[in-house]
Chains A and B, each alone.
Chain A
Amino acid sequence: MTKLLVADSAASLARGWSVQRRVIGALLMREVLTRYGRHNIGILWLFVEPMLYTLGVTALWNATMSFHGTTLPITAFAVTGYSTVLLWRNMPSRCVQAIEPNLSLLYHRQVKVIDIYLARLILEAAGAGASFMLLSIVFSFLGMMDLPEDILLVIGGWLLLAWFGMVLALFIGALSEQYEIVEKLWHPAAYLSFPLSGAAFSLHALPERAQHYLSYVPMVNATELLREGYFGSQYIAVYDTKYLILFNLVLTLFALAEVRKISRIVVPQ
């Protein structure tokens, strides 16, 4: 009897997974069409747009010879730094008030609130990731930066940051459906937290007190981790992977709870 039940629920889980994959795939295609259309370079905008941001910031930092407290070339510092900012900042921005324009899709029972978010998040992470990779390859080809010393660590740092960005996005997105003020506050908060995110400084080069407080910022930990993988021998990275994972886990719990809450109250139109 129990065996039967287990087999039954496993089968229904597998069915649910296949439906969800289909739905997210369909939403991805739709998102690409509505966002980038079929005109000019179309889907290429997915990574060209973040590339333009990173390129602009790299050029600015080079021009102003920004101080970042290390001996690393500014280009390498800017590419590894700003690519991470795009990851954790754009994902929540895409999820704020994301349900309203998609309300009509909820008429189809298969489409759930979380699918709408996940489609947007996958697209955003793919765009930021592709832009980071392309810029690293192009700049290293031009001799302006080296390729990563420990690629696995870079991927690990990137994935931990993507995880953080995703659950932050789900949390902020779901809150913005319940409280309009969240939308107003998110944008300034995102803008102001950029200088604190670890993209523009090396934690080790800061005064001890600042280091202490900033070590609680999840983005700082992830960026340091990524730079450890990228520069390793030339960079003193300060981070706590366990803390980052714990932070992500707790935020995941809150984010999923909020998403569940709004899936019960959203009314399709």
Chain B
Amino acid sequence: MIRVENVNKVYRTHGGDSVVLRDINFKIARGEKIGILGRNGAGKSTLVRLMSGAERPTSGAIYRDMSVSWPIAFGGAFQSSLTGYDNLKFICRIHGVDAKEHVAFVQDFAELGKYFREPIKHYSSGMRARLAFAISMVVEFDCFLIDEVVAVGDVRFHEKCRVELFEKRADRAMLIVSHDAHFVREHCDHAAVLEGGELRMFNSVNDAYVYYDARMH
């Protein structure tokens, strides 16, 4: 279970304080999949960063009694001056996982060929995305944070990701941020709409979309 309790996030800007998240409360149980809908700039990515623990709330608390991933497939969580292989080793070291057992999987999944041992800064965006996703699958988390995972890559890559994440790891909890309504409907049990820094939770994904569409048009 992850409990988000009375979480507020305020950023200081030159024009005064900017409240990005306001009194957020919700829970994710084991295996539960929640979609987050919201316009650009609604604070979805900030919420994901807070959930991952990379950033701390200004007030309120997030209690985790299951392990939570970093925002998966997110290329920004890697070191561009290092090779794909070195990044894999780094992630494995901080999570206490043996990198050797996963080299074959990452090489096979990311299809980088000899680029696996080249610095990431020389990769195309597709290569980066494939590597990022593959490395994200190396550590087994109880809850995966997914921020626009399907934004890059071709159809075949999407299908591979779908199998890894939603078939092989169907029992995990997930927080999914996506603009793709079809994707959210297919994978989420519930959905919430983030708007003006406030989160409104809906039991059915359908209700969330009805509300969201009404507000956006």
Contact = CB atoms under 8 A, between A and B. Distances in A.
B96 to A, nearest CB: 6
Contacts of B94: 22-23, 26, 108, 110-111
Contacts of A42: none
Contact of A33 (B49, B76, B82, B91): B82
Q: How large is the interface on A (under 10, 10 to 19, 20 to 34, 35 or more residues)?
A: 20 to 34
Contacts of B39: none
B164 interface: no
Interface string B110-153: 00000000000000000000000000000000000000000000
B55 A105 contact: no
Contact of B68 (A22, A109, A263): A109
Given A23-B94, A267-B55, A268-B55, A104 B78 contact: yes
Contacts of A269: 76
A19 B97 CA distance: 12
Given A108-B91, A109-B68, A111-B94, A30 B54 contact: no
A25 interface: yes
A29 B90 CA distance: 8
A34 interface: yes
A106 interface: yes
A53 interface: no
B71 interface: yes
A25 B71 CA distance: 23
Contacts of B71: 107
A106 B54 CA distance: 6
Contacts of B91: 108
B95 A105 contact: no
Given A33-B86, A268-B49, A105 B93 contact: no
Interface in B44-88: 49, 52-56, 68, 70-71, 74, 76-82, 86
A109 B56 contact: no
Given A22-B93, A26-B93, A268 B82 contact: no
B12 to A, nearest CB: 8
A39 interface: no
B63 to A, nearest CB: 14
A109 B82 contact: no
Contacts of A22: 93-94, 96
Contacts of B56: 263-264
Contacts of B68: 109
A268 B77 CA distance: 9
B158 interface: no
The interface residues of chain B, by DSSP majority, are classed as mixed
A266 B11 CA distance: 11
Q: Give 7 closest A-B pairs by Cβ, nearest first.
A: A109-B53, A26-B93, A107-B77, A268-B54, A107-B70, A26-B94, A107-B54
Interface in A73-130: 104-111
Among B11, B55, B76, find the residue whose CB has the most chain A CB atoms closer than 10 A: B55
B3 interface: no
A22 B89 CA distance: 12
Contacts of B54: 106-109, 268
A104 B80 CA distance: 9
B149 to A, nearest CB: 15
Contacts of A109: 52-54, 68, 70
21 contacts: A19-B96, A22-B94, A26-B90, A29-B93, A30-B79, A34-B82, A104-B79, A104-B80, A106-B54, A108-B54, A108-B91, A109-B52, A109-B54, A109-B68, A109-B70, A267-B49, A267-B55, A268-B49, A268-B54, A268-B55, A269-B76
A138 to B, nearest CB: 34
Contact of A107 (B11, B76, B95): B76
Contact of B77 (A25, A26, A34, A104): A104
Nearest to B53: A109
Nearest to A103: B76
Among A23, A34, A109, A268, find the residue whose CB has the most chain B CB atoms closer than 10 A: A109
A33 to B, nearest CB: 6
Nearest to B86: A33
Interface in B147-177: none
